[in-house]
Amino acid sequence: MSGSVSPLAPKSFAEMPPVRGVRMATAAAGIKYKNRTDVLLMVFDEPAAVAGVFTRSRCPSAPVDFCRQNLAGGVARAVVVNSGNANAFTGKKGKAATELTAQSASEAVGCSIGEVFLASTGVIGEPLDATKFAGVLSDMTTEAASDFWFEAAKAIMTTDTYPKVSTRSAKIGGVTVTINGIAKGAGMIAPDMATMLSFVVTDADIAPEALQVLLSEGTGPTFNSVTVDSDTSTSDTLMLFATRAAARDGQKAVTDATDPALDGFRAALNDLLRDLALQVVRDGEGARKMVAVTVEGAESDLAAKRIGLSVANSPLVKTAVAGEDANWGRVVMAVGKSGEMADRDRLAIWFGDVRVAVDGERDPSYSEAAASAVMKEEDIAIRVEIGLGSGKATVYTCDLTKEYVEINGDYRS
């Protein structure tokens, strides 16, 4: 956690209500950081339905392998998260560390190893000493409280400058349900599921299969549409749990994701996922500006997204934004290199409401002063019209500053 909070941080944090059926506790196990919490335990007193999406990295961490294996069971009783060490690229030792952690958690909570889920974040390649938190989990189980969301979010931070929390409520068949989520992420963030760690819990009664469809669909326009630096983490994990406590209020169990009873819940979940994803971008390492890149008129929505990511990931575009330089030529460059169809002579580009280029050349009424004024804003919208079809997408990123280099230049030291 760096010394100063990102200037793009929320001015206030959501008041997080308890979600029935889940309790949390944190501890300081001294894995990497001193004088701060670095282990989070979530306990489900009754079996919760679980869904998850994970990194597409070909070098996933040991906890990602472990979660994928247990996801098939569809049931969760405990989640253990640590920060400071990713337990990635740690070979047999990494697998042994996940097994020891899961064994300790299952004993502490009183469940099977198959009902435990793990996540780790931090340095890659350092063996994780799981004995450090094997001893604290039983105490944490006893202490765990339901109104501990903010502290839970703090315990999973690495280079984050603020904890990321969000809450929504929705109705399923007339019964009100709550959805709470926390996330961590500031660098090594690229849209390849799930671009960081995030844990979302609802008291709704939804079966694991339906939950999985909701989560997989919800990540497309949210966590899969954000990028800080184009690097996909080894540890990306996004999990959704349903404690089913709302059944006590008369909520009828939902087993099919297409059930119209889920319409309000789906909208609320997607809104929460988008909120958390944007909080991650707004905490991009060294970030001073938030950028929304919208591409319209591409051959398809997928083409639009790829063009948008080409713009959003371009170091030249991102450094121009950092320098408040309305250099639309760099946007043209990024569109051209995307690998998707584009027609130079049909391109139009806007910075905010200012059209800077049209029909493949500088806008005849271009005003450097107007374009520069847009670049001085904290939130900047870049819009590109391709002029070939109806494909559309928006991706979110931040600027690339000297601080990003400083943070990542000495991350291990």
Q: Which domains does the chain carry? A: 22-282 (3.60.70.12), 290-409 (3.10.20.340)
Q: Are 346 and 387 in contact (CB under 8 A)?
A: yes
How crowded is residue 1: how many other Cβ atoms within 10 Å of its Cβ?
15
Answer whether 0.75 is exceeded by the pTM. yes
- Annotated binding-site residues read 158, 184, 195, 285, 408, 413
Structure tokens at 125: 């390649």
The CA-based angle 251-254-257, given to 5 degrees, is 140
pLDDT recorded at residue 191: 46
**Catalytic residue numbers, as ranges:** 195
Cis before residue 51, ω within 30 degrees of 0? Answer: no
- Give, for all 413 residues of the chain, the pLDDT tens digit: 446 899 999 999 999 999 999 999 999 888 877 888 999 999 999 999 999 999 888 888 999 999 999 999 999 999 999 988 989 989 999 999 999 999 999 999 999 999 999 999 888 899 999 998 778 999 999 999 999 999 999 999 888 899 999 999 999 999 999 999 999 986 555 544 434 799 999 999 999 999 999 999 999 999 989 887 777 678 889 999 999 999 999 999 999 999 999 999 999 999 999 999 999 988 888 899 999 999 999 999 999 999 999 999 999 999 999 999 999 999 999 999 999 999 999 999 999 999 999 999 999 999 999 999 999 999 999 999 999 999 999 999 999 999 888 887 876 65
pLDDT recorded at residue 55: 86
SS3 205: coil
Q: Is 410 exposed, middle or buried, given 0-12, 13-18 or 19+ CB atoms closer than 10 A?
A: exposed
**What is the C-alpha to C-alpha distance for residues 216 and 199, in angstroms, rounded to an integer?**
14
pLDDT recorded at residue 187: 59
- Annotated binding-site residues for substrate read 158, 184, 195, 285, 408, 413
